Amino acid sequence: MSEAIVVDEVSKSFTMQYHRTMKQMAVAMTKGQDLREQFLALDKVSFTVEQGESIGLMGLNGSGKSTLLKLVNGIMRPDSGSVLTRGRIAGLIATGAGFHPQLSGRENIYLNAAVLGMSEAETKRKFDDIVEFAQVGKFLDTEVGHYSSGMFARLGFAVAVHVDSDIFLVDEVLAVGDKPFKKKCIEKMQEIRAEGRTMFYVSHAPGSVRKMCDRVIVLENGRVGFDGDVVQGIRYLKYDSSDEGLPEDEQTDDELGSDV
């Protein structure tokens, strides 16, 4: 089995600016206050994902999950270390990412598909399937700037899942939308998993992670705190304490999203 993702000693930091205006900065300087601070989002993170593995990336808000996903996707570069991937990457790493608010849903399907590496001919061939999955109805020719967050999610996910990829990345896709849409997303991702594609799934939802993932990686303050069995990873986070004793289909499965 070949390696799909190799993350080796990766670190990434950001600058936190405390003051926005020149006046605020001048006042802060006279008081001897810091104007900015370096925040280490990822600290020497290492792991390897084999082709066909389904990974649940978990952790509390601010632990570095979305930053890591953006590094794997190639949107950002690490400050140190390396991220290597094999094959075509697709997925939804933020609701509405790659959409232009002044273009219609129809136009944004072509735009977003192009960003994800699909040719115009490929998009035309899959257009009807994308529209059917998104279920935006009469709003297809409306500017997406007028869409609700749920419609954004449906359209973005619909495009992403119709890209022929080797690695599928998902972040916050279930943070919005109704239960039927969430169920539809889970079913589609299970299909992707069954096809043997590598899946990297950022989630706070133990129920969906149990259904879809072979392995869990937990980030804690930018470091790998756990890497292994799905059930043990969920227990490590203590996410199951409020659901203990309930049937799986009744367990809380709300996506909370991730911000760093």
What is the total count of domains within the chain? Answer: 1
Inside any domain, residue 29: no
Nearest-CA neighbor of 55 among 98, 91, 28, 29? Answer: 91
Inside any domain, residue 19: no
Inside any domain, residue 195: yes
**28-64 pLDDT per residue, tens:** 667 666 656 678 999 999 999 999 999 999 998 889 9
- In whole angstroms, give the CA distance from residue 260 to residue 245: 32
Inside any domain, residue 129: yes
Inside any domain, residue 94: yes
Inside any domain, residue 20: no
Residues in contact with 20: Cβ distance below 8 Å, sequence separation at least 6, in sequence order? none
What domain range includes position 220? Answer: 51-250
Distances (CA, A) of 237 to 54, 112, 173, 246: 19, 35, 21, 18
CATH assignment at residue 96: 3.40.50.300
**195-217 pLDDT per residue, tens:** 999 999 998 888 888 888 999 99
